[in-house]
Amino acid sequence: MIGAGQFIGLGFAGQFRRRPEELRALQSALLLLETEITYTATPLPAALSGVAQRSLFPAREIFSFAAGRMQERKGVTASEAWNEAMVQIKERSALRETDWLILQQLGAALGASSAVEQEKHLRLAREQLRQEEELAEKERARCEPIYRYGGLLSGLLLAVLLL
């Protein structure tokens, strides 16, 4: 029972730890994408799959899924492919609704304008993600220990009560 309590606590603590990591992964992937778009004007499917190979979860998964959908050339727009990709990853990720909203906004603009415009959209998304990351980092510092030890302690408490 103590073990179970600790396990649950660690699970919650993990959420707090993983979110800033995921936000960082997204930011660096978007920076790579920006380079692909503004300097080499690589078409979006190729750019996304190229960046995916150099990125971490969840950017890797979102990018490669979206690229795959676009390469099928069935008339799927970039934003549709992007949204589908987000839905695929949502379950497995520690990101919050606010983070997904940022990505969704970016997806709506992806590929649909000139390089200069694309750069603006990507920068904006990166800046927003960075702010979220800061908040997430603070939250983690505050909450991670609470959950980690809280789980253990509540398990212990429950065990004592049941004795």
Partner 1 sequence: MSQDMRCSQGAGSEVISFLAPRLRRLLESLPEGTKAALEEIRLRQGRPLVLRAGEEDFTVLPFDFSPFSGSRGSGEAQLRLSSDLAKGWRVEKEDVEKTLQIISQNSLYALEEELRNGFVTLPGGHRVGMVGQAVIEKGRVRTLKHIAGLNFRIGREIKGAADGLLPYLISAGRERVYNTLLVSPPRGGKTTLLRDVVRQLSNGVPALGIKGFTVGVADERSEIAGCYQGVPQRDVGIRTDVLDRCPKAEGMLMLLRSMAPQIIAVDELGKQEEREALEEALNAGVTVIATVHAASLSDLDRRPVVRELVAQRVFERIVILGRSRGPGTIETVWDGKKRCFLKGGEENAQAAGSSAGDRSRTVYRPGVCRPVSPAP
> How far is the C-alpha of 103 from the C-alpha of 83, rounded, in Å?
9
List CB contacts of 62: < 8 A, sequence separation 6 or more.
82, 85, 86, 88, 89, 103
Among 42, 88, 105, 154, binds partner 1 (CB under 8 A): 42
Helices and strands (DSSP H and E) totals, the chain: 6, 0
**Does the protein bind partner 1 through residue 74 (CB under 8 A)?**
yes
Nearest residue (CB) to partner 1, 30 versus 110: 110
Among 26, 29, 30, 78, binds partner 1 (CB under 8 A): 78
**Does the protein bind partner 1 through residue 114 (CB under 8 A)?**
yes
**Which strand (E) or helix (H) includes residue 111?**
none
**Does the protein bind partner 1 through residue 81 (CB under 8 A)?**
yes
Quick one: which segment of 9-17, 22-30, 39-47, 89-97 binds partner 1 (CB under 8 A)? 39-47
**Does the protein bind partner 1 through residue 52 (CB under 8 A)?**
no
DSSP label at residue 31: H
Residues engaged in binding partner 1 (CB under 8 A): 37, 41-45, 47, 70, 73-75, 77-78, 81, 110-115, 117-118
